[in-house]
Each structure stands twice: as structure tokens, then as C-alpha cells.
A and B are shown apart, each in its own frame.
Chain A
Amino acid sequence: MIITPRILVRITLIVVIGVLLQVTFFSQVELFHISPDILPALVVILGLLGGSLTGAVAGFSVGFLLDCLIFAPLGPSSLVLISVGYGSGVYRERFDLGNRWVAPLLCMAMTLAAELLFAVLQLMLGVDTPVSGLLAWDLIIKSIFAFFLGFPMYVGIRRILRPALVDEQPKPRRRRRRPRPQTLEI
């Protein structure tokens, strides 16, 4: 990804709008009693489009902003989302993204991984309340939501960041040779 100030502004806007949409909309709607979590998918997509460094920085920023807005202890969300962003960036740098199912499948897998990692972090931090079996259902359904939301999100964000994507740069045009003007020798 070619990061210019203009692209940086676009990425910042994507992060801010994504977090605001999550806390004000997606967290307040339910399907099968579960609210979708788009933030791991958002970080995965930024990692896939921008590489490991962009993914990690986006993950940190998303986690930090989220924790600030919900008044949670700062850090756990950032740690989890840094891993998610860096991991998906490394995937992009090593493997081919030719298949269109890669992005939604990676969103699903990384959402599951993020939720599990977050649970482990919370238990390590000393949450001593019993954990309900319903949490497993929550993780699975959230991952499935991430699969279905991953594809349109990938297409939309790719379109917004198109000017910065190396793969999307127009190939240099070959100059056509102009036919030499034929002059008549007199």
C-alpha cells in the first residue's frame, strides 16, 4: 500500500466510522440473540489490503478507540486486534489473494480467534465470575456474521483505498509509435 497523507485520512475515517458503527448500531441489534462484531473483520481487511504494519497499527487504533468509548480498561482490545491485523497482513504478504472467498473466510477465522484470545486475556486478568456455555454459541454466531459481513466490507474498503493499492495501479501505457510523415523528396 502506498501511504500518502490523503490515504492516511481515509484509513483514519474508516477506523473511526467502523468503531462508531459498532458501538452505536451493531452492538444494539441482534439476530439469534447475538450482536455482530465487525471490528475484527475491519482490522483483517485493513491488514489484507495494507500489509502487516498497516494491520497492526489499525488494530491498535481500533482497540484503543473502542476501549475509550465503552470505558473499558485500555489495552486488552488493542492487544487482540494488533494480533489480528498483523496476522492477516502477514497472510497477505505470503499467500495469494486471488480467490474471492479468502477475505470472508479470513474474517470468520480471525473473528473466532480474536474472541477466543479476548476470553483468555479476560480470564488471565482475573474475571472470577462463572462463564456460561452460551458464550461458545456467541463466538460461533459472531464468526458466521463476520463471514457474511466480510465480503461487502472488503469490497467497500478496497474501493475506498483503491488509489493506494499497488495491485490496482494502472499499468504504464506503451507509447504508440506515430507513423513517420511521409515526405516526398523532390
Chain B
Amino acid sequence: MYRKEVRRRRAVLALLVIGSFVFLTATFGEGSGPVQSGVSTIFSPLENGASRALKPVQDLVNWVDETFDARGENERLKSELEDARANDAAGKAAIQENVQLSGLVGLPKAGTIPTGYEPMTGRVIARSPTAWYSTVTIDVGSGDGAAVDDPVVNGDGLVGHIGAVTSSTSQVILLTDPSSQVSGKVVPVGTQGIVSSEVGNTQQLKLDFIDSSERIGKGATVVTAGWSTGEIASRYPPDIPIGKVTRASIVDQEASQQVQLRPFADMRSLEFLQVLTGGGAG
């Protein structure tokens, strides 16, 4: 009797392990399949309701965490304010010049939302629990007009892009996800590189493949490069702010330098995001 029970237990265990491997083989690198879309669609109203109901408790816990953090943050903000004041005068002059030049060549005025894109606001309803997948789920989907590869921003800058959609929800792959790579440009220098991340570090990004002969200064801003070559184009439109350079080091043995930057968008506390739809991302 006992032996039979042990055999049954082992058979179920083997079945579960084999099932997991079958799922892994079928879905790895394939994006979201019909099973995931179906389950996600069924559970999205529950996710939405639970997220709204638990928001006050969530805010309370995050307030405690932020209170611990406030002292260090205060020092950093003071230092940033000094830098911002120094850059303010130069910035105003540059904007004035830009307006005049744009008028001269007949370009439309550029705002926060790139020309040709329609912003659609979504609320974060779920988040991945592991550092290996830096993703969030928002409550707008293909039914609202969101599509895979659409860029996603918030008030601070670029957040990521849409990785998968159902009719009512979308998965946003954040800049800090290991699979995320964005072509970025250091302004005003114009040097381009690839912005990527490290697993487990949500506060820092890195800009690779920059020629070591071009010096990048601390505090420089990195924006999306938004390249386009014929039919192929970057999924991100140009000039969306990504982050600020915190460190630039030249590797002696290599011809490239690695630049570290702090993203403008705080990836740890995302609540409302804007999906830029209708841009025809390549």
C-alpha cells in the first residue's frame, strides 16, 4: 500500500516537472502565447480591483520606506538643484535659439510627446516579483489601442516599451529589464551608444559602445537616439530623456568607454504611465 502511494507521488512529481519543461520549451523566447493571454484576460479585473483596494496600504508601506530614505535623498537633491541652477541660464538661451531656428526651417514645435504619437495613460496594476524580469502590467491593452513595441514614458522620461498585450492589459518591459536595449545619445555632444542594465540594479543603467576618444562629462543628459535606416527604425522616437550620467570611465585596454547613468524615471515607484501609440515603431 505504502509502495503504491510512493510510486503515485513520484509519478505526479515527474508529470509536473515534465509539464514545466514542455511549457518552458514552448514559450521561451516566443512572447506571450494564447494560454498566457487567456489567463491574464480572465484575471485582469481581479488584478485591477485588488490593486485599487490595496493602494492605501501600499502607499503607507512605501511612505515608511521613503521616510528612511529621505535624508540621503535630500542631500542628493540639493546637489542636483545647484547643477540645475547652473544649467538653467544656458538652457534658456538654447531654447530661445531652438525656437528661432525651428521657425526658420519650418519644423513643428517639439513637446514632451514626440510628434506623430498619441499618448494613452494607463495605471500600473501588477509588477513582477523577481529582479530577473523587470516588468509591470498596466490596465490598457489592444482594445484601447496599445500595441507591442509601443514606447512607454512617464512625466520624468522613458520607462520602457510594450512587450505583450491582451485586450485589456499590457506588459511593459522596463529599461531595467535584462532584455531591454535602447539606442541612446548624449546631449549636447551627440555621441551614441546602447543603454542597457544590470540584473538587480533598478537605480542605474549603463551606456556602452562609446568611443573612448569622446569624453563624456558627469551630469550630461542621455536621450533616445531614435535612429532610422530605410525600412528599419528604432522603436523609440528621438529625444525622449532617459537619464543623467553619473560616472564615465575609460577602460585602458579597450577602445570604448562605459558610462553609468541614473534613469530619470524612478522604476521602483511607477503608478501612471503613458503609452505612445500610433508612431509606427519599427
Residues of A within 8 A of B21 (CB): 75, 79
Cα distance A67–B26 when bound, in Å?
Answer: 13
Among residues 28 to 51 in chain B, which have CB atoms less than 8 Å away from a CB atom of chain A?
28-30, 32-33, 35-36, 39-40, 43, 46-47, 50-51
Tell me if A73 and B198 are in contact (CB < 8 A): no
Residues of B within 8 A of A125 (CB): 28
Flag the segment in B89-97, B107-115, B123-131 that touches A. B123-131
Q: Let me know if B133 is at the binding interface, CB within 8 A.
A: yes
Instruction: Tell me how far the C-beta of A30 lies from the nearest C-beta in chain B, rounded to whole angstroms.
Output: 5
Residues of B within 8 A of A186 (CB): none
Per-residue contact bits, chain B 48-80, to A (CB 8 Å; 1 contact, 0 not): 001100100110011011001100000000000
* Partner pick for B57 among A25, A75, A82, CB 8 A cutoff: A25
Tell me if B20 and A65 are in contact (CB < 8 A): no
Given A24-B54, A134-B201, also A31-B16 (CB < 8 A): no
User: B200: nearest residue on chain A (CB-CB)?
Assistant: A135
Cα distance A127–B25 when bound, in Å?
Answer: 16
User: A142: nearest residue on chain B (CB-CB)?
Assistant: B129
Tell me if B132 and A122 are in contact (CB < 8 A): yes
Q: Let me know if A166 is at the binding interface, CB within 8 A.
A: no
Instruction: Tell me how far the C-beta of B266 lies from the nearest C-beta in chain A, rounded to whole angstroms.
Output: 11
| Overall SS of chain A's interface | helix
Q: How many residues of A contact B (CB 8 A)?
A: 55
Q: Let me know if B163 is at the binding interface, CB within 8 A.
A: yes
Flag the segment in A56-64, A96-104, A155-163 that touches B. A56-64
Cα distance A80–B47 when bound, in Å?
Answer: 24
Tell me if A75 and B13 are in contact (CB < 8 A): no
Q: Let me know if A39 is at the binding interface, CB within 8 A.
A: yes
Residues of A within 8 A of B25 (CB): 75
Tell me if A71 and B20 are in contact (CB < 8 A): no
User: A119: nearest residue on chain B (CB-CB)?
Assistant: B132
* Partner pick for A71 among B36, B125, B199, CB 8 A cutoff: B36
User: A83: nearest residue on chain B (CB-CB)?
Assistant: B17
Residue of B25, B28, B43, B129 ringed by the most chain A CB atoms within 10 A? B129
Tell me if B40 and A69 are in contact (CB < 8 A): yes
Tell me if A39 and B129 are in contact (CB < 8 A): yes
Cα distance A24–B68 when bound, in Å?
Answer: 23
Instruction: Tell me how far the C-beta of A122 lies from the nearest C-beta in chain B, rounded to whole angstroms.
Output: 5
Cα distance A33–B176 when bound, in Å?
Answer: 15
Tell me if A66 and B129 are in contact (CB < 8 A): yes
Instruction: Tell me how far the C-beta of B65 lies from the nearest C-beta in chain A, rounded to whole angstroms.
Output: 5
21 contacts between A and B (CB under 8 A): A23-B127, A27-B129, A28-B58, A30-B268, A31-B64, A56-B16, A69-B126, A72-B133, A74-B33, A75-B28, A78-B16, A78-B19, A78-B23, A79-B20, A86-B13, A127-B178, A127-B199, A129-B196, A130-B199, A132-B204, A135-B200
Closest 7 CB pairs of A and B: A75-B24, A135-B200, A74-B23, A68-B39, A132-B201, A129-B178, A23-B126
Hey, which bits of chain A sit against chain B, CB under 8 A? 20-33, 35, 37, 39, 52-53, 56-57, 59-60, 63-76, 78-79, 82, 86, 115, 118-119, 122, 125, 127, 129-135, 138
Given contacts A33-B65, A52-B9, 4 further A-B contacts (CB under 8 A): A74-B23, A76-B24, A134-B201, A135-B131
